[in-house]
Amino acid sequence: HVPHILSPQDAKRATLATAFLPYLRKKLVLAAIITGLGPSSEIVLTSPLVAAFEAAATKGFDKSGNDLDGWFQVPTSGVYKFFIACTQSGTSATLRLDTLADPLLQKTTSAPDQELTAEAELKAGVFYRLTIKADQPVTLSFQGAGQPRGPITQVHPHTMVDKLWQANTYVSKMQLVAKELTLTDEELLHHLPGLSTLKVEALLAVVDYARLRDELGADPADFVELLTRSKRSLPAAADPASILDDLCERFGKIARHEQATVRAAAELVGPPLTSTVDGDRLIVTAPGFADATALRRIWDVLVLTRRLGVGVDALKRWAVPRPDFAIARDLRDTVKARYEEETWRRVAQPISDRLRQARRDALVAWIMHHHPAGFERIEQLFEYFLIDPGMEPVVHTSRLRLAISSVQTFIQRCLLNLERQAHPSALNSSHWQWMKRYRVWEANRKIFLWPENWLHPEFRDDKTHLFGALESAMLEGDITDDLAAQAFYGYLKGLEEIARLDIRSIYLQERNDPADNVVHVVGRTFTAPHKYFYRSYSHRMWTPWLPVTVDIEGDHLAAVVWRERLHLFWVTFMDKHDRRSEERSPTDMLDDKISTAEVPRIVQVHLHWTELFGGQWTDPGQTGLTDPLEMTVVNNYDSRWETIHVTPDTADGADAVMIHLNGGINTAFRLASKLAPPTFEGREEYPLLPYPVAGLVGEWVGFAPLRVTYVEETKQKGLAKPVERVETRSILAKETGYRLRIPANRTERLPDELAGLVSPLFYQRGEHTFYIEPELKETTLVEWDGWVTTVPPVVQLPDLKLKPLVPKNIKPDPIGPIAKYAISTPQDWLTNEATVVHFGERTFGNEVQQ
């Protein structure tokens, strides 16, 4: 209403404002709602939803009779006091808060104009639902800390809040669906009518749509356009076939198929078009393109044609209610034509397994129904046929193997006397012990006949260096005949190199148990330049030859295990010219004798070593001396006379090793640490050997046929000196010129005269090398003429624990035939005939008087 006092121009402005302000207010409210819910909520906001959000501004309680219901909040946190004013006496009032389980106030007035009060602690910014139920009119007010008493102003009706909650839930669900399914605005708007019902069927339809869209990789706009064009309104005289062509072309572009193929698939799954006339309009609907479920059927047909490599016509020919064998054969041949023969077997296995299961179930059902035995359970088929009727296709077998298994089961049942018509004595049980284990026999035969199919070289953990080189050569390129021949030739060449080696050193590592002793062996090739190899022997097993990757010069080599590591020590000899002969003039030499005129000979001795660590040989080290060991020797000295052996030096807690040279140098190197130079000590002689050999070039050369000398018998009578009988036995009667390689260390656990008899050694002569492990048996006999007085051993017996024997009191039968006490007649002892009285020197009694 425009007041009449306004001017015409102001009246026009007022009229415009009256008409425009409600629209502006509506727009501002909608913008505020969208701002609060998010930009994506604008699409799903319908008029009822906007009205529900606008109703949130309504204030007051829901009133139903005298009851009040609403949501409120307080401006500040604190304790608030509620007042319920009742005008009439006997008014019953109940006040509840949704955060409390029990009523906050539940009383009845006893006088008119009485107020009921209650207190509660409330928090600011939290909405509380307050309900009041009263049978008479009441007035509500409250008062808080710093707040005057008055009515609750920030209260909203419960019905409006409930609508607001429902609207917010609906919008949030729509936003969640759009986010999880990545729906665009066009897609969400297209499915909004169905989603607005909040039904599970509508949600599943949208999920199917999103899954099909992602599977096709379709553009959302094109996909929504396709669904929108599935229902069209045309003039009554229009041709509806153009609608189908347009839809098939659009879906063909999305699915990447020809238009004709899509149309054939659409015609196969159902009627492509339906049309109805509505006045002068023709309503055309394509059910096969109306929703994602219909499009899924068309897409499944297209996928099947691509997988099988056939056209839609073939699928139409096969898709009959009752397919026959011709259709099954045609389908199998069509699929089989796409694969090679070997690949087809792997592809067809799952299909064949299902068919085998079906044939097995059908055969079992037929036998149980028609067999004269009248089987009631499947287990009875096994008892009758001895074949498992529930065997799955995962069990790989054949008719022959299944028959053998059935026969084996039958024979086993006969041996267990479970077959009534077969006597156990009819079978040879001892013969059957090895005949019944077919699997063991089968595996043994297969490994024997075709070992190349069963031996896997990658499982070997003791590969030799030659085998590793062979594998590396075979993996350098594609396997060809030339590559295989070249790799095998290299393997045989290396095998020929280590087929027979010149044994240069032995070391016997002793353990607490002699069976655990380890023999370390170092050998080299016979031809120069020499290549050295190492191996060990323990528990009657040899390890492969391991190449020694350091350069060893010299013939005097000794292996030793020092500080839990294997070390190789070798010495080299070098002549040094004596310059003192150059300083003397010929005049000074005129008076010298011929023997003293000879130039003295000086030999320099160098010590080298290497150690085996982590399967690798370290770089060789030298003595560390600035000047090597220099020894003055005779002019005809030859380093081949030297022999080398090692001994440990543990005196005074030391952990050193000594390398002894015998034969001219007669000195020992004492090495206490690899970080300090060795010292020179007096050498020790190697124990006397029981063989006729002499030291030469670091080893022992036989100068007579191989024989052994040992003490055959030792006799001792009383305290007299033992008498030994030495025996020499020939081992080889005619062989000479052989070489023996004995351990470079002395046996610490046996005396020297016994150690040489049991120490392992290598025998080398000509083209042969033998490893020998001597054995020694020693028997001790004690003979004594006279009495043998022995001290009886003290036997500690355990304490006896005796239990007291308490006789068992057997209560007689009160009515038994035998009484516990005999019946006696009371009689005076003096008048008894058996009583005898002794008085003084005389005895009185029945016929007794002395």
Following CA atoms 4, 6, 8, 13 in sequence, which dihedral angle do they give, to the nearest 10 degrees?
A: -120
How confident is residue 850, by pLDDT bands cut at 50, 70 and 90?
A: very low
> Measured between alpha carbons, how far is 118 from 110 in angstroms, rounded to an integer?
17
Alpha helices in 181-237 (DSSP H): 185-195, 200-216, 220-228
* Helix/strand/coil for 363: helix
- More reliable by pLDDT, 11 or 469: 469
214 has a pLDDT exceeding 80: yes
Q: Give 78's strand partners.
A: 122
Q: Using one digit for the tens of pLDDT, what is the confidence trace for 75-110?
A: 888 888 888 888 888 888 888 888 888 888 888 888
What is the predicted pLDDT for the residue at 581? 55
Q: Spell out the domains of the chain, with CATH numbers in brackets.
A: 1-59+156-180 (no CATH), 61-153 (2.60.120.1560), 208-318 (no CATH), 342-446 (no CATH), 457-496 (no CATH)
Average pLDDT over residues 804-822: 62
What is the predicted pLDDT for the residue at 71? 85
Q: Using one digit for the tens of pLDDT, what is the confidence trace for 685-698?
A: 887 788 888 877 66
Average pLDDT over residues 414-425: 83
Q: Using one digit for the tens of pLDDT, what is the confidence trace for 764-811?
A: 988 889 999 988 887 777 776 666 566 777 777 777 777 777 776 666
Average pLDDT over residues 669-679: 86
What is the predicted pLDDT for the residue at 361? 93
How confident is residue 198, by pLDDT bands cut at 50, 70 and 90?
A: low
What is the predicted pLDDT for the residue at 719? 73
Of 212-216, 459-463, 483-487, 678-682, least confident by mean pLDDT is: 459-463
Of 506-510, 557-561, 812-816, least confident by mean pLDDT is: 812-816
What is the predicted pLDDT for the residue at 2? 47
How confident is residue 815, by pLDDT bands cut at 50, 70 and 90?
A: low
- Mean pLDDT over the full length of the chain: 81
Tell me the two tokens of residue 549. Answer: 């990757």
Q: Which residues contact 637 (CB under 8 A, 6 or more apart)?
A: 601, 603, 664
Tell me the two tokens of residue 280. Answer: 């002068």
Q: Using one digit for the tens of pLDDT, what is the confidence trace for 491-502?
A: 999 999 999 999
Single-letter amino acid code for the residue at 119: E
Alpha helices in 612-748 (DSSP H): none
DSSP calls for 602-648: EEEEEEEEEEEETTEEPPPEE---SS-EEEEE-TT--GGG-EEEEEE
* Helix/strand/coil for 428: coil
- More reliable by pLDDT, 844 or 788: 844
621 has a pLDDT exceeding 50: yes
682 has a pLDDT exceeding 60: yes
What is the predicted pLDDT for the residue at 1? 47
What is the predicted pLDDT for the residue at 443? 79
Closest to 569 (Cα-Cα) out of 740, 756, 698: 698
Q: Using one digit for the tens of pLDDT, what is the confidence trace for 165-184?
A: 777 777 777 777 777 777 77
Q: Which residues contact 631 (CB under 8 A, 6 or more apart)?
A: 602, 603, 605, 664, 665, 667
What is the predicted pLDDT for the residue at 825? 63
What is the predicted pLDDT for the residue at 811? 64
Q: Using one digit for the tens of pLDDT, what is the confidence trace for 25-78?
A: 666 666 666 566 565 555 555 656 666 566 666 778 888 888 888 888 888 888
What is the predicted pLDDT for the residue at 11? 77
